């Protein structure tokens, strides 16, 4: 569930894009873009996709309410069937470890000094899939303190991760 602040940002991006008759995802292509009340760094691809999804649902509501069914069939292909929220579609695909995204846990591993092989073993043991490039990138990000916060694992969760290495060694 999104926070009120996150929802407000998405709605501001959606309104701005709608008022300029463009897709929110196109906002990312505009250099030096300024939206009143939003810093440039907060205009992310994920937020733009959610804003587009919101605007598409609003357009579909208007079409359903005011256009007769016969006319709806002739509406150009530009107005497609509304897809579910970006988050709800991708949330099913995202794997988690101890309730944290895999990438966040891998950043924790990087912060703790795990090697690529150790991280690979732990992820495989926990039945999670992650590409080597993502694994390498997130490990390095954890070592350097970039790309977001590492997972805040409890002592028992930390012990379980370390135990995956011991199990593999046996």
Domain ranges, ordered by start, for the chain:
4-90, 96-169
Mean of pLDDT values over 26-39: 74
Residue pointed to by tokens 């795990």: 114
pLDDT at residue 79, as a whole number: 46
Residue 84 has pLDDT above 50, yes or no: no
- pLDDT at 149 > cutoff 60: yes
Query: In this structure, are residues 10 and 54 in contact, taking their beta carbons and an 8 Å threshold?
Result: yes
CB 44 within 8 A of CB 10: no
Buried b (16+ CB within 10 A) or exposed e, 133-152: eebebbbebbeeeeeeebbe
Per-residue pLDDT, averaged over 69-79, amounts to: 54
pLDDT value of residue 93: 56
CB atoms within 10 A of CB 71: 10
pTM of the predicted protein model: 0.47
Out of 7-16, 54-63, 66-75, give the one with best mean pLDDT: 7-16
What is the predicted pLDDT for the residue at 78? 41
Range name among 5-14, 85-94, 103-112, 132-141 with the lowest pLDDT average: 85-94
Average pLDDT score, the chain: 75
Burial of 105 per CB tally in 10 Å (0-12, 13-18, 19+): buried
Q: How far apart are CA 53 and CA 84, in angstroms?
A: 7
């Amino acid at each position: 569930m999104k926070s009120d602040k996150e929802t407000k940002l998405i709605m501001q991006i959606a309104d701005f894009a709608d008022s300029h008759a463009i897709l929110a995802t196109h906002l990312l292509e505009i250099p030096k873009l300024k939206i009143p009340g939003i810093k440039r760094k907060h205009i992310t691809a994920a937020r733009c996709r959610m804003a587009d999804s919101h605007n598409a649902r609003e357009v579909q509501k208007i079409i359903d309410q005011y256009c007769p069914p016969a006319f709806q069939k002739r509406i150009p292909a530009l107005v497609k069937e509304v897809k579910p929220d970006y988050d709800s579609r991708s949330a099913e695909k995202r794997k988690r470890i101890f309730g944290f995204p895999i990438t966040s846990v891998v950043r924790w591993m990087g912060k703790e000094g795990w090697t690529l092989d150790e991280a690979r073993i732990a992820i495989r043991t926990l039945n999670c899939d992650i590409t080597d490039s993502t694994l390498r990138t997130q490990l390095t990000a954890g070592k350097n303190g970039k790309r977001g916060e590492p997972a805040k694992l409890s002592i028992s969760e930390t012990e379980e991760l370390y135990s995956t290495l011991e199990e593999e060694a046996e």
